[in-house]
């Protein structure tokens, strides 16, 4: 993806099913659990660049010693710093991070603080082990304020209104209620249901009590991903399947998807159970996980991204008028690479039937180490475009250069850095092809797209309405959004959908292309987008496509888009939830 887009966090839960000492005998190190937990985090490092944390729970701690170890980091390379910190603890203390249960987290701070207090795992300490709670998750809620009000009315004081702090308080409240109920404790599934049934949003919650009870819970729509694995020695949960595969050298079919709405429970003795927890809801797993967020070394994601490339091929052929001789095909590194392979395979196959070929190569090369600290804005902008290098000598004069990106969100990097430097290669035309449809609506379930101002498609919508003297449509939608914001979330509708419906896809895409065109671009510029219908055919099990369609899976989504529209019209640059 060309734009810098922060997104979902990553979690890793590991339970050794025997005493830690046993693994020292079998594997030659009592740090076996730590090494496997660290590997699961490392294989998900793409999911967190702002913070990292790891907790280790000792199931039979001696008196006078804490029952858990905890390290966190918000260093510039947080995971590397975290593992170094843990490594020092391992060296200095013969018991540190050598317990039976590990809970790790990688944080992408879509909003909020960037300090250690915002890093997971969170801890609710207690001298009673069955009330001590370690908690980490991948979540974004739309109803944090309502939850905070409910907790306050119940007598709680909240030192923070961040959704992680609120969720922790909801869990501890439910745990206390369940522990003190007259009929006795009924189990963690009841605790999770009491807390999470109030949540509107997307979440994977992982945690453990001090007595060794552990859990994982995925929202009822399955918006955020989670996978689990068990054998005689370990139980593991992670946000991505290949992380578990790499840690334990197992096949894809051995790692199962965590069912939405089910409580995945690990008992103190290591026994595993899946129990009903949340009311069933339509599956709306986030399709952006398949397009961009999750790593493509998952077998299913790899196949889906290739299909996205196949699906784009007819549009690309039409865009170049069937002239494959003057086509040069490339991609924006690096997450679009697998989709590029699918597109290339299709075009090569079509060309071979006619005795022709397709020229291709990597013309855009991202300089990952490029940094500039120049204060002068113009000088900094001039240098910033060189975050990308280009490969000279591949594109010929008169060529149409087709570059594939996985999605276009803000479009600023494409306009300010990528297109100007590609233009130096001298193509007659540049065609930017997106493997995703246009992103029309804000997201509130984990991606930092919470305002309309940052979406190039919405900016283009305004351009079309302005050019056709129809800005009154937006004013009318604004008035309706203000009216609906006084209603409960469940009674609100996505008002912005009615405005997009008045503009043709062709007009919107043309306006996006104009928004992406940098000043002085010599080549002609066109933009292609995947259709929603093709996206659904390529990723049939992931129908969470609200950012493209406006079809939000929870009531809070409609409230967020209405709030985002009101914020935009009132020139308030603040988050919509």
267 to 233, 490, 507: CA distances (angstroms): 14, 37, 57
For every residue of 428-454, DSSP letters joined together read SEEEEEESS----S---SSSS---STT
CA 369 – CA 387 distance, rounded (Å): 8
CB 338 within 8 A of CB 296: yes
* pLDDT given at position 113: 58
CB 123 within 8 A of CB 134: yes
Token pair for residue 132? 């001590």
461 to 450, 496, 543, 571: CA distances (angstroms): 17, 11, 24, 17
The CATH number of domain 10-283 is 3.90.700.10? no
* pLDDT given at position 378: 57
User: In 10 A of CB 340, how many CB atoms?
Assistant: 28
- Return the CATH fold of 297-469+504-551: Rossmann fold (3.40.50)
The parts of the chain modelled with pLDDT lower than 50 are 371-375, 380
Give the three-state DSSP class for 501: coil
Sheet holding 122-124, edge to edge: 122-124, 133-141, 201-209, 214-218, 262-266, 272-276
In angstroms, what is the C-alpha Rg of the chain?
25
The residues pairing with 71 across neighbouring beta strands, listed in sequence order, are: 54
Using alpha carbons, select from 93, 89, 17, 1 the residue that is nearest to residue 59.
Answer: 17
Residue 58's contacts (CB-CB under 8 Å, 6 or more residues apart) are 20, 65, 67, 68, 69, 95, 98, 99, 100
CB 420 within 8 A of CB 385: yes
Residues 467-488: tens digit of each pLDDT? 999 999 999 999 999 999 999 9
Domain boundaries, the chain: 10-283, 297-469+504-551
* pLDDT given at position 6: 54
* pLDDT given at position 50: 87
* pLDDT given at position 577: 67
Instruction: Identify the sign of the CA torsion 428, 433, 439, 444.
Output: negative
Token pair for residue 353? 């039937």
* pLDDT given at position 380: 47
For every residue of 159-194, DSSP letters joined together read S--SHHHHHHHHHHHHHHHHHT-TT----HHHHHHH
CA 103 – CA 69 distance, rounded (Å): 10
The residues pairing with 527 across neighbouring beta strands, listed in sequence order, are: 432
* pLDDT given at position 115: 78
CA 538 – CA 85 distance, rounded (Å): 43
* pLDDT given at position 295: 87
Longest Cα–Cα distance of the chain, Å, equals 81
Give the residue carrying structure tokens 């609710």.
124
CA 416 – CA 413 distance, rounded (Å): 5
Q: 393: phi > 0 → left, psi -120 to 50 → alpha, else beta; which?
A: left
């Amino acid at each position: 993806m060309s734009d810098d887009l922060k997104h979902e966090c990553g979690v890793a839960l590991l339970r050794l099913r025997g005493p830690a000492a046993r693994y020292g005998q079998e594997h030659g190190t009592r740090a076996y659990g730590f090494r496997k937990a660290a590997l699961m985090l490392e294989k998900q490092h793409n999911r967190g660049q702002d913070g990292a944390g790891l907790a280790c729970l000792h199931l039979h701690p001696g008196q006078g010693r804490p029952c858990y170890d905890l390290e966190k980091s918000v260093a510039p390379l947080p995971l590397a710093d975290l593992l170094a910190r843990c490594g020092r603890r391992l060296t200095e203390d013969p018991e540190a991070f050598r317990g039976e249960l590990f809970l790790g987290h990688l944080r992408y701070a879509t909003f909020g603080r960037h300090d250690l207090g915002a890093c997971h795992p969170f801890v609710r300490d207690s001298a009673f082990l069955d009330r001590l709670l370690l908690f980490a998750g991948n979540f974004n809620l739309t109803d944090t304020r309502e939850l905070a009000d409910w907790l306050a009315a119940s007598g709680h004081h909240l030192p923070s209104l961040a959704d992680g702090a609120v969720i922790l308080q909801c869990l501890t409240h439910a745990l206390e209620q369940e522990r003190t109920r007259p009929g006795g404790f009924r189990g963690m599934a009841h605790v999770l249901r009491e807390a999470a049934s109030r949540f509107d949003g997307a979440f994977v919650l992982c945690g453990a009590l001090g007595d060794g009870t552990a859990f994982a819970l995925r929202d009822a729509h399955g918006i955020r991903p989670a996978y689990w694995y068990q054998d005689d020695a370990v139980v593991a949960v992670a946000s991505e399947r290949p992380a578990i595969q790499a840690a334990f050298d197992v096949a894809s079919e051995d790692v199962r998807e965590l069912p939405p709405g089910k409580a995945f429970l690990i008992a103190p003795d290591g026994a595993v159970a899946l129990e009903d927890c949340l009311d069933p809801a339509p599956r709306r797993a986030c399709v952006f996980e398949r397009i961009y967020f999750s790593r493509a070394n998952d077998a299913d994601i790899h196949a889906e991204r290739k299909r996205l490339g196949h699906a784009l091929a007819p549009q690309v052929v039409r865009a170049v008028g069937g002239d494959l001789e003057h086509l040069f095909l490339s991609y924006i590194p690096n997450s679009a690479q697998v989709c590029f392979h699918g597109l290339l395979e299709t075009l090569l196959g079509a060309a071979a039937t006619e005795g022709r070929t397709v020229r291709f190569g990597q013309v855009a090369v991202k300089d990952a180490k490029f940094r500039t600290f120049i204060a002068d804005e113009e000088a900094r902008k001039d240098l910033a475009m060189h975050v990308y290098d280009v490969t000279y000598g591949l594109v010929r004069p008169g060529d149409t250069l087709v570059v594939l990106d996985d999605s276009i969100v803000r479009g600023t990097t494409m306009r300010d850095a990528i297109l100007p430097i590609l233009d130096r290669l001298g193509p007659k035309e540049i065609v930017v092809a997106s493997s995703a449809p246009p992103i029309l609506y804000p997201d509130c379930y984990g991606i930092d797209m919470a305002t309309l101002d940052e979406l190039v498609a919405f900016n283009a919508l305004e351009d079309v309405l302005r050019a056709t003297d129809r800005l009154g449509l937006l004013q009318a939608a604004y008035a309706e959004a203000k009216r609906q914001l006084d209603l409960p979330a469940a009674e609100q509708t996505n008002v912005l959908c009615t405005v997009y419906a008045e503009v043709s896809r062709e007009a919107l895409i043309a306006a996006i292309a104009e928004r992406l065109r940098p000043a002085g671009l010599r080549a002609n510029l066109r933009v292609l987008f995947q259709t929603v219908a093709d996206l659904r055919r390529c990723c049939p099990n992931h129908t969470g496509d609200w950012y493209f369609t406006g079809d939000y899976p929870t009531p809070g989504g409609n409230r967020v888009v209405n709030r985002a529209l009101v914020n935009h019209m009132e020139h308030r640059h603040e988050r919509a939830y």
